[in-house]
């Protein structure tokens, strides 16, 4: 399981692991893959702390950082984070805050202590994500900057390239993939609708070959519903240069997920996820629960565009993580349909070993089907 992309990044396996947990980043990279830290929830100062810790524990292995700069959002053009946050806060209708607060109160989720409250606008805009890029580029072992929504801004691509790093971007259609390629993106991540987090509507096995053909020879990572070596073999068979995984790492031993959240993942089947705008304002796959259902009901005030909806729900995200054992009825548990294959906690090392073994067995099985 070795592709040209492995040589470009100096890794053993073309298995990319998106995670918000620094321990998982380190464990994946130290076991031959490529860990990618999701930066959206960190301030620039917090991100610096996380990356410094990764640098100190990852050895000589490379890793990446994932940011979120949507191609379209409210407040585009304003690059002063403080001014942007003030403008956006003033634009949020009171009824949306009241609706969200009512759901949390009825579910019995405690309020946060004052010292644990923070800014409501984090890395969802160019104004807030650009400083994250500045921080990431100060760290030599960061070899890739990925953008989770839309084509990265031109200046971000230029800065990353000037530093000698690679740029990646996620897409859910061939049209989006071609826009990435035209802008100079080095690696395109084709994510099928099965994936966790923000996704489009096209299934993985339909999307992957379309994107691969459209942007060739630009390397494509296959994403969406990958939880086994058999699925990795399928992705490489259609021409992918590697795989981008996320849900697979949510409940590993090294992840920081609270026990109650882990159990929600273990108990869920692949039918228990839904694409909902109720958390960020854009379609995002997560476990369905009373929160996602409430925002679909007639009494709901409706979704706000990004990042306004995310600013409304930031209190929910923080509180349901802080008090996970009391909050699963309304918690934000982003995960893809592969959750039906996540039934126990294992180490990152064990997961990667199983992926490789299953991949090898799949390739051998195909080889045995060839005429002698």
Tally the residues of the chain: 372
Q: Is the pLDDT of residue 371 over 90?
A: no
Find out whether 308 and 281 touch, Cβ atoms under 8 Å: yes
CA distances from 162 to 79, 155, 158, 183 (A): 22, 10, 6, 15
Quote the CA–CA distance of 334 and 353 in Å, as a whole number.
25
**Dihedral in degrees, nearest 10, Cα atoms 110, 23, 124, 121:** 40
**Residue (of 326, 271, 296) closest to 109 by Cα position:** 326
- Per residue in 91-149, pLDDT (tens digit) is 999 999 999 999 999 999 999 988 777 777 888 899 999 999 999 999 999 999 999 99
The H or E element that residue 222 is part of is strand 220-223
Is pTM, for the whole model, over 0.85? yes
Q: Find the mean pLDDT for residues 148-169.
A: 96
Query: Tokens at residue 257, please?
Result: 């997920």
Distance from C-alpha of 332 to C-alpha of 291, rounded to nearest angstrom: 8
CATH 3.40.50.1820 for domain 4-367, yes or no, is: no
Distance of CA 249 to the CA centre of its chain: 11
* Rg of the chain, C-alpha, whole Å: 20
3-state secondary structure at position 142:
strand
pLDDT in tens, 184-242: 999 999 999 999 999 999 999 999 999 999 999 999 999 999 999 999 999 999 999 99
Question: Whose CA is closest to 107, among 317, 327, 340, 255?
Answer: 327
Q: Region 156-174: what's the mean pLDDT?
A: 97
Strand 187-191 with 273-276, pairing: unpaired
Mind giving me the DSSP string for 94-160? HHHHHHHHHHHHHTTPPPPPGGG---S--SSSHHHHHHHHHHHTT-TTEEEEEESSSPPPHHHHHHH
Q: Between 317 and 115, where is the model more confident? A: 317
Beta bridge partners of 199: none
């Amino acid at each position: 399981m070795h592709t040209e992309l492995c040589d470009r990044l100096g890794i053993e396996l073309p298995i990319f692991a998106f995670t918000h947990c620094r321990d998982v980043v380190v464990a994946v990279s130290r076991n031959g893959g490529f860990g990618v830290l999701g930066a959206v929830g960190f301030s620039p100062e917090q991100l610096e702390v996380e990356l410094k810790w990764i640098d100190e524990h990852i050895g000589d292995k490379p890793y990446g950082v994932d940011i979120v700069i949507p191609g379209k959002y409210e407040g585009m053009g304003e690059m002063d984070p403080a001014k942007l946050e003030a403008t956006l806060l003033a634009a949020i209708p009171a009824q949306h805050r009241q609706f969200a607060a009512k759901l949390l109160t009825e579910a019995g989720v405690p309020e946060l202590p004052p010292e644990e409250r923070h800014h409501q606008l984090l890395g969802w805009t160019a104004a807030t994500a650009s400083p994250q890029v500045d921080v990431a580029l100060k760290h030599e072992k960061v070899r890739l900057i990925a953008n989770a929504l839309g084509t990265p801004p031109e200046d971000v691509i230029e800065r990353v390239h000037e530093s000698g790093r690679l740029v990646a971007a996620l897409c859910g259609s061939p049209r989006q993939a071609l826009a990435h390629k035209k802008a100079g993106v080095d690696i395109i991540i084709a994510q099928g609708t099965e994936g966790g987090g923000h996704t489009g509507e096209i299934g993985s096995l339909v999307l992957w070959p379309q994107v691969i053909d459209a942007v060739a020879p630009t390397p494509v990572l296959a994403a969406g519903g990958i939880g086994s070596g058999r699925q990795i073999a399928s992705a490489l068979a259609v021409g992918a240069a590697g795989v981008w995984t996320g849900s697979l790492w949510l409940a590993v031993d090294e992840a920081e997920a609270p026990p109650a959240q882990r159990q929600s993942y273990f108990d869920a089947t692949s039918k228990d996820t839904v694409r909902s705008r109720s958390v960020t304002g854009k379609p995002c796959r997560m476990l369905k629960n009373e929160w996602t259902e409430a925002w679909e009901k007639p009494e709901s005030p409706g979704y706000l565009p990004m990042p306004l909806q995310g600013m409304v729900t930031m209190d929910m995200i923080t509180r349901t993580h802080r008090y996970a054992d009391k909050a699963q009825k309304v918690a934000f548990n982003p995960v893809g349909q592969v959750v039906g294959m996540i039934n126990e906690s294992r180490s990152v090392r064990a997961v990667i070993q199983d992926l490789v073994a299953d991949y090898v067995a799949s390739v051998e099985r195909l080889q045995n089907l060839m005429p002698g």
